[in-house]
Amino acid sequence: TLSREFSTTSTASYSSSDEEDDISPRERPQVNSKGFTDFCIRNIKHADFGRREIEIAEQEMPALMDLRKRAQGDKPLNGAKVVGCTHISAQSAVLIETLSQLGAKVRWCCCNIYSTQNEVAAALAEAGYSIFAWKGQEEEDFWWCIEKCITADGWHPNMILDDGGDLTHSIIKKYQTIFRGMKGIVEESVTGVHRLYQLAKTGKLSIPAMNVNDSVTKQKFDNLYSCRESVLDGLKRTTDIMFGGKQVVVCGYGEVGKGCCSALKGLGSVVYVTEIDPICALQACMDGIRVVRFHEVVKTADIFITCSGNKNVITRDSLDKMKNGAIVCNMGHSNTEIDVASLKTNDLTWEKVRSQVDHVIWPDGKRIVLLAEGRLLNLSCSTVPSFVLSITHCTQALALIELFNAPEGRYKQDVYLLPKKMDEYVASLHLATFDAHLTELTDDQAKYLGLNKSGPFKPNYYRY
Amino acid sequence: TLSREFSTTSTASYSSSDEEDDISPRERPQVNSKGFTDFCIRNIKHADFGRREIEIAEQEMPALMDLRKRAQGDKPLNGAKVVGCTHISAQSAVLIETLSQLGAKVRWCCCNIYSTQNEVAAALAEAGYSIFAWKGQEEEDFWWCIEKCITADGWHPNMILDDGGDLTHSIIKKYQTIFRGMKGIVEESVTGVHRLYQLAKTGKLSIPAMNVNDSVTKQKFDNLYSCRESVLDGLKRTTDIMFGGKQVVVCGYGEVGKGCCSALKGLGSVVYVTEIDPICALQACMDGIRVVRFHEVVKTADIFITCSGNKNVITRDSLDKMKNGAIVCNMGHSNTEIDVASLKTNDLTWEKVRSQVDHVIWPDGKRIVLLAEGRLLNLSCSTVPSFVLSITHCTQALALIELFNAPEGRYKQDVYLLPKKMDEYVASLHLATFDAHLTELTDDQAKYLGLNKSGPFKPNYYRY
Amino acid sequence: TLSREFSTTSTASYSSSDEEDDISPRERPQVNSKGFTDFCIRNIKHADFGRREIEIAEQEMPALMDLRKRAQGDKPLNGAKVVGCTHISAQSAVLIETLSQLGAKVRWCCCNIYSTQNEVAAALAEAGYSIFAWKGQEEEDFWWCIEKCITADGWHPNMILDDGGDLTHSIIKKYQTIFRGMKGIVEESVTGVHRLYQLAKTGKLSIPAMNVNDSVTKQKFDNLYSCRESVLDGLKRTTDIMFGGKQVVVCGYGEVGKGCCSALKGLGSVVYVTEIDPICALQACMDGIRVVRFHEVVKTADIFITCSGNKNVITRDSLDKMKNGAIVCNMGHSNTEIDVASLKTNDLTWEKVRSQVDHVIWPDGKRIVLLAEGRLLNLSCSTVPSFVLSITHCTQALALIELFNAPEGRYKQDVYLLPKKMDEYVASLHLATFDAHLTELTDDQAKYLGLNKSGPFKPNYYRY
Amino acid sequence: TLSREFSTTSTASYSSSDEEDDISPRERPQVNSKGFTDFCIRNIKHADFGRREIEIAEQEMPALMDLRKRAQGDKPLNGAKVVGCTHISAQSAVLIETLSQLGAKVRWCCCNIYSTQNEVAAALAEAGYSIFAWKGQEEEDFWWCIEKCITADGWHPNMILDDGGDLTHSIIKKYQTIFRGMKGIVEESVTGVHRLYQLAKTGKLSIPAMNVNDSVTKQKFDNLYSCRESVLDGLKRTTDIMFGGKQVVVCGYGEVGKGCCSALKGLGSVVYVTEIDPICALQACMDGIRVVRFHEVVKTADIFITCSGNKNVITRDSLDKMKNGAIVCNMGHSNTEIDVASLKTNDLTWEKVRSQVDHVIWPDGKRIVLLAEGRLLNLSCSTVPSFVLSITHCTQALALIELFNAPEGRYKQDVYLLPKKMDEYVASLHLATFDAHLTELTDDQAKYLGLNKSGPFKPNYYRY
């Protein structure tokens, strides 16, 4: 692979050899070629392959590489000791090594028992990083790895980089002293952010936290631009369907829905939208899309895509009415949108046709094509482009720098958005990829607009 | 005309007969067919023509008509006494008559000395409304009309509907007692809103005000959707240019710029964008548009369109470099974007080629085609569709209802945005036009999302 | 105007002063500033204005100007004596003067009694051309002008450039000797071409003729590219309608229909197509457009556009079913598509709302908005861009050159298409406008493809 | 798989178990469950799996299924004895069984040593068809299979269905008597058609042949619509690249190039075109695409796609100039477009990164990403949708019916295009998939247009 983020499909293919390794990494000797032993990964022998993956990823993540260069003189993370818990991929490795070059010390584990690329973990260990992660952990291993990152001889972590909140909550529960002494938390997931706001509400958040999930730049790429491509890819890889002329129902016209509709229309599909919000519905109208209720199109459409963030948007009743061959999938933020459980009844037969593709067969022979069992199509059946991860990881790095260097009192015991100016900076670091040239304000213009020449250029709420 | 908002071009053609009327309306007897005399307009004889214009506009403003029906029972504006100061067009007449049907009493004048459609003013006067407005007023007339709306026997206005702030400031200056007793102000223009925030800052705003300019629905229509159409119309009507294959530079990729680019790409133009904001620049990249600095394209492009909200975006230096026949125009929010003054030098010859079209000729014979002398192309050389005004006027009506009926204490002495829920309501009233059918949340779904079934469906900051 | 072809609307505005001239041009003295008298036009005093129009048109017709330069050395039309009968516009003036510079002698009249721009005719007369044309001729004048072009002292025309066939048929009927001695005919209109094929079939075409109407380049511009823009312009200028979200029915998915649909979709309309040809219908499907029968959408659509080339595509029965405010217009090749005659019944009221806009009012008050009384919207309510005319006139010039210089025997007594290679040459002359750079075949590649390096590059039938 | 045509990638995965079968099918006993033995395939045990694939394909090929129903009464191929030589896929199986149901007797082999889906061949053999085909034949096996189809006891074939011409030429060389007695040939490939025209030129084509490759409907789908989707799919599956903002050079703006450009623009790529033909170049301009020479963009573009049909469009010299990470691939009709041979020099290192993906590495470390070693991206790295094959196979079936039933003398010893009317019929059979409803001409309209109500609706040359 040139560059792939974690996904069941894609990593499955790399790691087939791992199945041979029956012994748990925790029971195997762990030592790299220089005698370093403070890590725990699957197999150090795969370090070379992992290093090549990292090198390729570096080429596609110019912003982080740029950051290394720009910030190298003054090493803005000198003194930072970061505990990290994320997916372990070639792209996150580029982040880890960037933090290190900016002066930070790090210990790192994986936020999901399946989401480690073993070869990449090996390459990091070989390079001397304390990595505790492998693919296919037991639950118990998972918490053990987190522990190993929090505590170690002479290790007094002062920052958290988290994805999901498990690391943060481990520290809060068991290591309150460490927690209270920290400079801050950077959290990237919807779930983790939600948990942080809960903490803040209940007064348990004793240090500042930065919600990078809702950064403008990251949001646009995670939702609009990423889904615009992955909806096509996910559907094509699984079903080989031709998009031209197909009738597609997209449930929800937020950023994800807008991305899906735009891509499908570009290839000649006839798109319908369902919406609960009249403002989004009116936007669909103005984009030339018919806004319908589900029952109006359930019998005639060829493809159904949920991206509403809601639950039971597609019910058994609807599935009963769909025509033979209809394809049903989900691009929303969880697997609740399609009521998959309702399909597990005795009268229906499930037939696994391909990886991530099930035919659900009705007594009369009607087949519904269900993708990824209703989980996220974009993660399960497509890949996340390096460029999207470059945006995410760059945002995380800048959030760490901001929290670590912020003057006393700028951030309190609360959850913050990344300052607009740094959000803009993330974007600016990615313009070179497109050979895009930014215009600078003259002094006169800056004064006229009442803006600082280096930004921020828009109010915080601006996110068109 | 089926439906046209004020614009120099369009109204010019209707009102040619008015030039005959040399006597100022203030010196002419004013009486309608029923003997009513409390108004001052150009010529009551044109009332029939104006009434037909209003009737046609009613057909294209279903939301206000709908509001009339829905709110007629309880007449939510019973007791409201509104002084209004807006453009006087068929569309604003529909607003005025709607307010009246909702229970309000009104007196109305025009916010611009040129922007009254005389026939419409006549129709309103004939129907018994106290209208003080005509096209081509003197400065002195303008203030006189405002006065006539504020004070009258037994008239104690308690609400202001303003467009630009002149009415509001007249009242503040001269009628503080009236002002302090009022329920609130609804203001629709950028300028007027700016003035309100200034008042609030300096503690001079003793009543609540509603900024309807920044309502989500209104903004989308005023900027993105409206400009998407008017950029084509404005350029075509003035220059007859073919868009296919033309190289166009759009300065600014905000909502207006996005609308312009989308429309031009749809007709086969090659579009370039200049931007100061890296986030907007990155959006342009992801939309397939090259982001350049002005000097990179100044010599080769065919058309230049400013929509940055900035000043001197196109300077004399740039104009000197453009090629023969280049077209230069402005879609931004004022006439500062093109440095038109810099073209008024002795070495250049101006040749008026058509209404709103000047050729500026360089000594070597090079001609630059300047549209509307750098004023807004969309207002000067195109028309504002009734549908856009329907959104605006519906928003104004709902803002009045909200302010008038709000329980004590909901609004203080400050400037407010229209509540999200009412913003959504404006949108919902316009869905029928497109035969769009909104989906309703089930109880279960509403609970899952933590939403009220009738909205609001999004947080206030949501405005993608 | 920068550049407008003939249209009722546009010329109306220029020529208002002509109404003063009550005396027929035929009865007025005709002499230019150098004493030249062999012409008949409205008013020689307007020559300066016309000359400026021609100069502006020259800037937008670079291909003809280029042809002047390239072919000037050997003057390929030396000896050609061309009788021409076309619209007289600034653009056709550029053609006439180009032919002259290439060596031809010309006499010229107008192919339509309304389609002369008087100022341009004046400019040509002032420049010494024998022009016989004015706006608002009587039928008798029309034929008189044609006569004056065919015969004159010492004038032995040997080529015809015709638009509609009236000139050709006059010569065939009355001047068989002249006709038989000619080198050939170049004809540009559908009608004229049809008449030529009839002549050929019946053996009456004693000289070769070239059908330039069906040249590939010209066809693409006349239909696809031209209509893509004029459908928007024609609708907007007449109705000020907003396109976003509107439901539009396009009858016919040939080149004109494809252009209309593409433009409307680009602005957010919901488009439906009706078709009789399954191949075109399938193309519409693959472009994401629903293919319907008229009755399925007649009651709900907002706009109906015919471009089928057929007759009675919209019948009275359909018009009876349309909803209030529906807009009906025609972009096809004649005024037969809408059965306008069926609307001239006593129960319906016609109300002229604007130039080219009629409201037809049903007894129940329903209004249908009929544009240009069913004539061509693109000609009646929009303008033909100079660039399109540049293609057409360049094609005509090359056809004349080809016929005049073709070796004996290449063309027989038949109707021919312009050779593919010259068709390609027309296109190549227009690439500079777009700064487009053609790639040249290497010797090796040309051999591989079996092509001559200078074309033709495709078989004759290739016209995707 | 739901439905995939032959491609190295896709079939590779299905047939892995076949590698176990070391014994050549020719040496194994061949007998199905009913004792039938006149076939030769890999393994009859896989018949069930193949049958399911065929059944799924049937659902996506409604036109052939429809043809079975419509033509079943009179069995238009009664008496036809067809030798077939095509890829053996689920889709071609639907064709074979359709021909059989229409009355034909058939014997079938595979036109490529790799392009047999063994399971499908097994299913056909099990159903009693004489199939001689397996995946991974030796050259000798290939010709042996062809022989087995031509000759058999009591088998006197009278029609050929060929894909590539190998079957046809075998018969011509060795079985002239059989050949001369035949009713006709149906050929679908570019190569095969080329060979037929050569035969016709040299007088060796003693029976009529039908070129179905150039049918309008088939062409549109094979090129424009198919490539519009497969260019995205092929690039994404191999490189996971994000399309938004990427600069892409498309060499050639024929139907394939138009499809590629349209798809890439739809996802936000910045597209450039190179062209040799000025007409196609001008089309690119009017579609908003810059037309450049290769050297203008070679250093800056991210992706290069050839679809010119030419050779050496991308040379070693160009590859030397590309930037690090540039992706190079081919969508044209053969593997000549990229000079891959020139990359096989000692100074460059090739690294196989994935199936179908090579990194070619320059001495300075620059990597060029070469896809499918310059072979067709759409076939090598994507799939051909069933719908496209439905069009192709339906066209073949109708061509056979036409040739078999044509009255004496309609077809001579020449190569013909499918009659327009049947081409239209192919399209009409596919409209139901899109719920598209064709409009019928009234008698009056048909007369006006001079058309038969059942078509053909356009002249033969019409193929916009």
Same domain, B238 and B347: yes
Q: How many domains does chain C have?
A: 2
Residue by residue, what is the 3-state secondary structure of B259-283?
Answer: HHHHHHHHCCCEEEEECCCHHHHHH
Q: Nearest residue of D to residue B270 by CA position? A: D288
- Interface contact A108, partner D, CB < 8 A: no
Residues in CB range of D340: below 8 A, 6 or more apart: D370, D373, D374
Query: Is the Cβ of B458 closer than 8 Å to some Cβ of chain D?
Result: no
ipTM computed for the complex? 0.90
The reported pLDDT for the residue numbered B355 is 87
Clarify whether residues C400 and C365 are in a common domain.
Answer: no
CA B117 to CA B139: how far, in whole Å? 18
What's the mean pLDDT in C333-348?
Answer: 94
Per-residue confidence band for A9, with pLDDT thresholds at 50, 70 and 90: very low
Checking if the pLDDT of C5 tops 70, the result is no
Neighbours of chain A (3+ CB pairs under 8 A): B, C, D
Among D269, D287, D291, most B C-beta atoms within 10 A, so best to mutate, is D287
D2 in any annotated domain: no
**Residue-wise pLDDT tens digits, C86-113:** 999 999 999 999 999 999 999 999 999 9
What is the distance in angstroms between the Cα of A320 and the nearest Cα belonging to chain C?
25
The torsion angles phi and psi of C215, rounded to 5 degrees, stand at -60, 145
Determine if residue D118 is labeled as part of a ligand binding site. Answer: no
Gap between the terminal Cα atoms of chain C = 34
Q: Which residues of D touch C280 (CB under 8 A)?
A: 457
In this complex, do B2 and C239 lie within 8 Å of one another by their Cβ atoms?
yes
pLDDT digits (tens, 9 = 90+) for D270-310: 999 999 999 999 999 999 999 999 999 999 999 999 999 99
Percent of chain A with pLDDT over 90: 84
Does one domain contain both B149 and B274? no
Question: Which residues of A define the annotated binding site?
Answer: 254-259, 275, 378
pLDDT at C18: 46
Contact C245 A269 (CB under 8 A): no
| Chain A residue with Cα closest to C242 | A286
Chain C residues whose CB is inside 8 A of the D310 CB are 441, 445, 448-449
Shortest Cα distance, chain B CAs vs residue D265, angstroms: 7
pLDDT score, position A71: 82
- Among all residues of chain A, which has the CA nearest to that of B258? A464
pLDDT in tens, D364-423: 999 999 999 999 998 888 888 889 999 999 999 999 999 999 999 999 999 999 999 999
Domain closes at, from B320, B349, B380: B380
Average pLDDT over residues A54-82: 91
Distance CA A423, CA D38 (A): 71
Mutate to test the interface with B, among A277, A312, A338, A430 (most CBs of B within 10 A): A277
Restricting to B residues 258-287, those with a Cβ less than 8 Å away from any Cβ of D are 265, 267-271, 285-287
Neighbours of chain D (3+ CB pairs under 8 A): A, B, C
Is the Cβ–Cβ distance between A218 and A392 less than 8 Å?
yes
C86 strand-pairing partners: C110
Tokens linked to D122: 């097994």
Residue A16, pLDDT above cutoff 60: no
| pTM of the predicted model over 0.80 | yes
Measuring CA to CA, how many Å separate D431 from each of C282, D61, D169, D172, D181?
6, 12, 37, 39, 38
D65 and D112 housed in the same domain? yes
Q: Which tens digits make up the pLDDT trace of D4-18?
A: 333 333 333 334 444
Which of A:74-103 have CB within 8 Å of B? none
Smallest CA–CA distance, residue D223 to chain B, in Å, is 22
- Asked if the C-beta of B436 comes within 8 angstroms of chain A's C-beta atoms, the answer is yes
Q: Tell me, yes or no, if C428 comes closer than 8 A to chain D by beta carbon.
A: yes
Rounded to an integer, the average pLDDT of C394-421 is 95
List the single residue in B with minimal CA-CA distance to C245. B434
Confidence at residue B251, expressed as pLDDT on a 0 to 100 scale: 98
The residues pairing with C271 across neighbouring beta strands, listed in sequence order, are: C248
Question: Chain B contacts of A294, Cβ < 8 Å?
Answer: 439
- The pLDDT assigned to D379 comes to 83
D164: left (phi over 0), alpha (psi -120 to 50) or beta: left
R_g of chain D computed on alpha carbons: 23
Question: A268 and C245: CB-CB below 8 Å?
Answer: no
Do C270 and A286 count as a contact with CB atoms less than 8 A apart?
no
Domain hosting residue B235, numbered range: 224-380
CATH number at residue B182: 3.40.50.1480
Q: Quote the mean pLDDT of chain C.
A: 92
In the prediction, which pLDDT does B10 show? 31
Q: Are residues A368 and A237 in the same domain?
A: yes
Do D100 and D180 belong to one domain? yes
Assess whether C244 and C174 both reside in one domain. no
Distance between C269 CA and the closest CA of chain A, angstroms: 5
Give residue-wise pLDDT tens across range C250-294: 999 999 999 999 999 999 999 999 999 999 999 999 999 999 999
Is C65 domain-assigned? yes
What burial class does residue B175 get, using C-beta atoms within 10 Å of its C-beta: 0-12 exposed, 13-18 middle, 19+ buried? middle
Exposed, middle or buried by CB within 10 Å (0-12, 13-18, 19+), for B8? middle
Q: Which of A138-142, A431-435, B7-11 has the lowest mean pLDDT?
A: B7-11
Please indicate whether, in this complex, the C-beta atoms of B279 and A440 are within 8 angstroms of each other.
no
A–C interface: beta-carbon pairs under 8 A: 36
Binding-site residues of C for NAD(+) sit at 254-259, 275, 378
Q: Given this model, what pLDDT does residue A60 score? A: 83
Classify residue C205: in a domain, yes or no: yes
Name which of D65, D220, D236, D242 to mutate to probe chain A: the one with the most chain A Cβ atoms within 10 A of its Cβ.
D242
Dist CA A331 CA D241 (whole Å): 20
In this complex, the chains that touch C, judged by 3 or more CB pairs closer than 8 A, are A, B, D
Report the sign of the C-alpha dihedral through residues B56, B62, B66, B72, in that order. negative
pLDDT at D71 over 60: yes
User: Quick check: D442 and C312 CB within 8 A?
Assistant: yes
Lowest mean pLDDT among A362-366, C5-9, C358-362: C5-9
Cβ distance of A431 and B464 shorter than 8 Å: no
Percent with pLDDT over 70 in chain D = 95
Residue B436 lies in a domain: no
Contact C251, C274 (CB under 8 A): yes
pLDDT at C70 over 50: yes
- Indicate whether A113 belongs to any domain: yes
Same structural domain, A286 and A190: no
Partner residue opposite A286 with nearest CB, options C244, C287, C290: C244
Are A289 and A313 in contact by the 8 Å Cβ rule? The answer is: no
Q: Say whether C2 and B268 touch across the interface (CB within 8 A).
A: no
Distance (Å, whole) CA A24 – CA D268: 46
**Nearest-CA distance from B217 to chain A in Å?**
7
User: Are B340 and B398 part of one and the same domain?
Assistant: no
pLDDT at position B21, please? 61
Asked if A266's CB is within 8 angstroms of D241's CB, the reply is no
| CATH number of residue B347's parent domain | 3.40.50.720
Q: Across the interface, do B436 and A254 touch by the CB < 8 Å criterion?
A: no
Ranges under pLDDT 70 in chain B: 1-21
Tell me if B446 is assigned to some domain.
Answer: no
Nearest chain C residue (CA) to B239: C2
Predicted confidence (pLDDT) per residue in A395-418, tens digit: 999 999 999 999 999 999 999 999
Residue D440 lies in a domain: no
In this structure, the answer to whether residues B186 and B155 fall within a common structural domain is yes
Chain A residues whose CB is inside 8 A of the C269 CB are: 288
Q: Is B40 strand, coil or helix?
A: strand
Q: Which residues of A does the annotation place in the binding site for NAD(+)?
A: 254-259, 275, 378
What distance in Å separates the CA atoms of residue D443 and residue D440, rounded to the nearest whole number?
9
- Same structural domain, A63 and A155: yes
Instruction: Check whether residue A187 and residue A256 sit in a common domain.
Output: no
pLDDT value of residue D18: 46
Residue at B302 is within a domain: yes
